[in-house]
Chains A and B, each alone.
Chain A
Amino acid sequence: MSIDAPVKVTPPARKITTKPRVSDQIFRAIVTTFSFSALLILSLIALFLLSKGFTTLKEQGFGFITNFEWSVFVDENGVEKATFGLQAMLLGTLVISIIALVIAVPLSVLTALFLTFYAPDRVKRILVTIIDLMAAFPSILYGLWGFFVLMPMAEYWAKLIHKWLGWIYIFDVPDPIYTRSPFIAGLVLSVMIIPIITSVSREVFSQTPLDRIQAAYALGATKWGMIRAVVLPFGAGGVVGGSMLGLGRAFGETVAVFSVLNIVFRTNFQILFTQGGNVASMIIQKWGEAGPSEVSALMAAGLVLFILTLLVNFLANYVVTKTVKSGR
């Protein structure tokens, strides 16, 4: 081996450390504590629900999700027999949330487009205030309004829909009773989630890069053409994210749905018919007269709802990051 062959030495990567100032360290500690406390509280809630609902989950097993019966009775020997199944409520929650989204998303996107690109300054300011106010409204007010104002109107709409589209299964009804239906609950929910979806959409639409907007206009685009070519692709991720946030709220909504929905433990996809389900409002409904075993079941239901909401949020994040990448 020759001695003068140059040897190439790659140095090991250096470890770079900095010593932050004390003030910075303190601030860092505070920020870290607070952000982790959110996580802590969330886990504690989950733990609490799990511990309370554990007996039910153990007894019912997977049937807790797939059964649609909910009954407790005590036989002549004083032995309690209980069947708890959430299926009808879970599917019911999905059904009314989807109805709410189908109505709310187009309306919100159009509203957001109007506010961002068409509304004169004054109109815009007034409308934004009103919409923000809508978001902060207590849900019992939506429930009352839904019951007293919306329901009579919606009953009429439901009849019309049934008349014209009744041949489609979901718009058919077994009996002509149109009040307190998933359709009406979905309508109320849609009104409640419009502010969220609108404000998130408005936020992303307003961040559309100006140079892209100008590029479209400089090519002879009309305003609507520009919106389709530039704003919607850019904002799609945000709209999906906003919709998922809305979905999260729709899943968990309790009081408003409770006031306008006839909660029945039977799976029903005929949305105009007075029979539906919703996990959160079911919990409220059963709470008052629940015995110990049923309380455990309700807690377990709460846990299921909790997990469902988490899943939706994760999904929302995933979809947003994916679509945002392709749109920007």
Chain B
Amino acid sequence: MSQVNYTNQNGKLMSDQPKNTTPSSLSDVASKRAESKVAGTQPLGTGLEARGVHAWFDKHHALEDVSLDFSAGTVTALIGPSGCGKSTFIRTLNRMHEFIPHTSMAGQVLLDGKDIYESGIDVTKIRLQIGMVFQKPNPFPSMTIGENVLSGLKLAQLKVDNQEDLLEECLTRAGLWTEVKDRLGAHAGGLSGGQQQRLCIARALAVKPKVLLMDEPCSALDPGSTLRIEETISQLSKSMTIVIVTHNMQQAARVSDYTAFFLSDGGPGQMIEVGPTNEIFSRPRDERTENYVTGRFG
């Protein structure tokens, strides 16, 4: 597969992925992180960092003081009982939270050390770098499969010279290429739910985000499709930062390097504990985390 280069309207080359920080192996990531970083203390300068994030719906305080770091090239799972603010949090990470009327937030979200909520910043550029996959597959039904994958480029007015290659690359990475390569011109509505979700992943990949946010991407899917998507996530994690919300502990254990546990004790949701996934599942520090992961509540 050939290298795909992106240029924006000004013809400036956009880099594919963080160059210096892509780790070679996951244990490498873990140790690197362990020595360099305590959650939410100083800017790393790479990856995505949430600093003291609060979120409100009108007067309802939904999320309180969440600081979390997502180093480049890691997969972080967000777990916790329903209503604890996982979706709200993940939506603050690419400024989707503000689309709901009368909402507000506080704190900072740093992408490669720069606050994405800074005034004067171009939100569309932020969302281009921080992609999102939603719980319910949402392809554009009026477009064909191929057009869906490339829709992000069109929407962001990016130009690529070799669309065919990009199309194949994204669909392959999303694990969908072999299934649809003969019907790229068919309407996307004709795909199964699992295929649609992988199409949405391919669509998100086409704009080469540095970070991919996934809010329960498998909750509407059958076990087979779920497995495919988990494989996809493992593949993708080699080249990008992934944040995934899931209710499925098995899934969190299978795909993530780090796990963060969220909880709301009736008040606003809080991040209780974060750590390497195997530690969270084997010897969590907080009793509430233990209760949750062992299935005693939630």
For residue B127, CB closer than 8 A to chain A, the reply is yes
For residue A229, CB closer than 8 A to chain B, the reply is yes
For residue A23, CB closer than 8 A to chain B, the reply is no
Residues in B with CB closer than 8 Å to A128 are: none
Residues in A with CB closer than 8 Å to B207 are: 219-220
For residue B186, CB closer than 8 A to chain A, the reply is no
Residues in B with CB closer than 8 Å to A1 are: none
Distance between B145 CB and nearest chain A CB, rounded to angstroms: 15
Distance between B191 CB and nearest chain A CB, rounded to angstroms: 15
For residue A218, CB closer than 8 A to chain B, the reply is yes
Q: How far is the CA of A212 from the CA of B188 in the complex (A)?
A: 13
For residue A239, CB closer than 8 A to chain B, the reply is no
Q: Tell me which of A226, A230, A234 has the highest count of chain B C-beta atoms within 10 A of its own C-beta.
A: A230
CB pair B138–A214 under 8 Å, yes or no, is yes
Q: How far is the CA of A218 from the CA of B151 in the complex (A)?
A: 11
CB pair A212–B140 under 8 Å, yes or no, is yes
CB pair A229–B140 under 8 Å, yes or no, is yes
Which residue of A215, A217, A222, A225 contacts B140 across the interface (Cβ within 8 Å)? A215
Q: Tell me which of B128, B134, B139, B142 has the highest count of chain A C-beta atoms within 10 A of its own C-beta.
A: B142
Residues in B with CB closer than 8 Å to A211 are: 134, 136, 138
For residue B12, CB closer than 8 A to chain A, the reply is no
For residue A131, CB closer than 8 A to chain B, the reply is no
Residues in B with CB closer than 8 Å to A163 are: none
Residues in B with CB closer than 8 Å to A234 are: 142
Q: Which chain A residues in 227-254 approach chain B with CB under 8 Å?
A: 229-230, 233-234
Question: If A211-B136, A226-B155 touch, does A218 touch B127 (CB 8 Å cutoff)?
Answer: yes
Question: If A229-B140, A229-B154, A229-B155 touch, does A219 touch B99 (CB 8 Å cutoff)?
Answer: no
Residues in A with CB closer than 8 Å to B200 are: 215
Question: If A211-B134, A214-B96, A214-B134 touch, does A220 touch B155 (CB 8 Å cutoff)?
Answer: yes
CB pair B125–A220 under 8 Å, yes or no, is yes
Q: How far is the CA of A310 from the CA of B186 in the complex (A)?
A: 36
Q: Tell me which of A214, A217, A219, A233 has the highest count of chain B C-beta atoms within 10 A of its own C-beta.
A: A219
Distance between A242 CB and nearest chain B CB, rounded to angstroms: 19
For residue B124, CB closer than 8 A to chain A, the reply is yes
For residue A216, CB closer than 8 A to chain B, the reply is yes
Interface string of B117-161 (1 = CB under 8 A from A): 000000011111001101010111111000000011011110000
CB pair A220–B127 under 8 Å, yes or no, is yes
For residue A61, CB closer than 8 A to chain B, the reply is no
For residue B86, CB closer than 8 A to chain A, the reply is no
Residues in A with CB closer than 8 Å to B154 are: 225, 229
Distance between A225 CB and nearest chain B CB, rounded to angstroms: 4
Question: If A211-B134, A221-B124, A222-B124 touch, does A216 touch B142 (CB 8 Å cutoff)?
Answer: no
CB pair A233–B142 under 8 Å, yes or no, is yes
CB pair B124–A218 under 8 Å, yes or no, is no
Q: Which chain A residues in 111-157 approach chain B with CB under 8 Å?
A: none
Distance between A36 CB and nearest chain B CB, rounded to angstroms: 37
Residue of B nearest to A210 (CB): B99
Q: How far is the CA of A230 from the CA of B139 in the complex (A)?
A: 10
Question: If A214-B134, A218-B131, A226-B155 touch, does A327 touch B142 (CB 8 Å cutoff)?
Answer: yes
Residues in A with CB closer than 8 Å to B142 are: 233-234, 326-328
Since A216-B140, A219-B131, A221-B156 are in contact, a sample of 17 more A-B pairs with Cβ atoms closer than 8 Å, ordered by chain A residue number, is: A212-B140, A214-B134, A215-B139, A215-B140, A215-B200, A216-B151, A218-B96, A219-B152, A220-B125, A220-B152, A220-B155, A222-B155, A229-B143, A229-B154, A230-B140, A326-B142, A326-B187
List 19 A-B pairs, Cβ < 8 Å: A212-B140, A215-B138, A215-B140, A216-B151, A216-B155, A218-B94, A218-B132, A219-B152, A219-B204, A220-B124, A220-B126, A220-B128, A220-B152, A221-B155, A225-B156, A226-B155, A229-B140, A233-B142, A234-B142
